Amino acid sequence: MSINLAVIYYSSTGTNYQLAQWAAEGGKEAGADTRVLKVAELAPESVIAGTPAWKAHLEETVSVKNVTGDDLVWADAIIFSTPTRFGNIASQMKQFLDTTGGLWFQGKLANKVVSAMTSAQNSNGGQEQTILSLYTTMYHWGAIVVAPGYTDQSIYAAGGNPYGTSVTIDQDGKMLEDVRGAVQHQAKRVVNVANWLKKGMQ
């Protein structure tokens, strides 16, 4: 039984785009039909132009499809990836989530299997809080949150966040923790749980 996995991310300079790519790899290894999708950029062009890494990443990912409500309906499972913004999700991600009210009202988001990842410039910069903030919306959807917990050794190597994979980024934009294995494990876990749920509901 095939699972449709949507990996939905926002990334200004590329970290969460990389997390999304690794999640897609894990999802495909678990047998899922996978889409990597971005939320639309809302920042003014003048602000983006003033940050070379931001401008370069936006240009590099111009071919990545913007997520729509149809992608949410298609998906059995969804993994979100967003940077931390003052202990909360990026405004671009929040704006997209705020457009899902119609689908929520129709019951089309209930029973989606969901999980989340994040990044920040320091380990105490709100990584756990960002993931938990995103999950609040998922509870309103009636989605089924699947956190990684401590179900694999890769989670310890990645810093041990049980709510979802998170990574610390240095001033040069490099990841300080080795999170690839944890991201892929999280994606596989999400696909497996979605598979159990889909089989059980048929």
**Residues paired with 84 in a beta bridge:** 89
Please write the tens of the pLDDT for every residue from 81-104.
999 999 999 999 999 999 999 999
* Nearest to 76, CA basis, from 165, 143, 151: 143
Residue 109 token pair: 């988001």
Q: Which is it for strands 88-89 and 166-168: parallel, antiparallel or unpaired? A: unpaired
Total domains in the chain come to 1
Please write the tens of the pLDDT for every residue from 35-89.
999 999 999 999 999 999 999 999 999 999 999 999 999 999 999 999 999 999 9
* Nearest to 3, CA basis, from 146, 134, 179, 151: 146
Please classify residue 124 by burial: count the beta carbons closer than 10 Å to its beta carbon, then call 0-12 exposed, 13-18 middle and 19+ buried: exposed
CATH number of the domain at 108, please: 3.40.50.360
Domain containing residue 138: 3-201
- The single residue listed with the structure tokens 């970290």 is 15
| Predicted structure pTM score | 0.96
d(C-alpha 184, C-alpha 190), whole Å: 10
d(C-alpha 2, C-alpha 153), whole Å: 27
